A = this chain, B = another copy of it.
Amino acid sequence: MFELLHKKVNEIVALTDEEFNICRTLFIPRKLRKRQYMLQGGDQGKYQIFVEKGILRSYTIDEKGSEHILQLAPEGWWISDLYSFFTAEPSDYHIEAIEDAEVLLINRTSWEMLLKDVPKLERYFRILLQNHLIATQRRLMQSMSETAEEKYLKYMQTYPDCVQRVPQHMIASFLGITRETLSRIRKQVVSKR
């Protein structure tokens, strides 16, 4: 159950077995069924979630009732509401499994302990956040400058795996367009070939 986390961490910082064993004691493994929630809006985001298997998504619902997906997290990714996790404020996000999934959970106190006992992980998380920020900034700029079609094509290029596994209306919601628009774009794209 910890293979992927182990691998991912070691790509960035080398942990001794002893150090990684501390991880084993602090993370809570859990299996999720498709459509099962890890976090419901209004609750506190108690955990940082590492995805060992399956795909999860985080999303908000605006006043008009439309969903907007912040993250699609397949194997090897982290997902959480960072703000709620660190402030203990109620979350605006929902986090849900899109497929049956296996995750590793860590709560706030365990996380503090982990960083204290394995200070190397400060570096791991720093680099993780750095890459995450770079990707999010890029996505933001794309959302401002690209047409719906460009967004879709670029998304397919960047995350071809997700396109297969995630229903189209969720891709649309991730891209910030409606399902109807995405459907029309796909039709166009096919006919262009």
Q: Is the CB of B82 within 8 A of A144?
A: no
Q: How large is the interface on A (under 10, 10 to 19, 20 to 34, 35 or more residues)?
A: 20 to 34
Q: Is A70 close to B, CB under 8 A?
A: yes
Copies in the complex: 2
Chain A contact residues: over half helix, strand or loop, or mixed? helix
Min CB distance, A177 to chain B, in Å?
Answer: 9
Q: Which chain B positions have C-beta within 8 A of A139?
A: 140
Instruction: Give the Cβ gap from A93 to chain B, nearest Cβ, in Å.
Output: 9
Q: Are A144 and B83 in contact (CB under 8 A)?
A: no
Q: Contact: B141 with A70, CB < 8 Å? A: yes
Residues in chain B near residue A140, CB distance under 8 A: 70, 136, 139-140, 143
Instruction: Given A66-B145, A140-B139, check contact A83 B129 (CB 8 Å).
Output: no
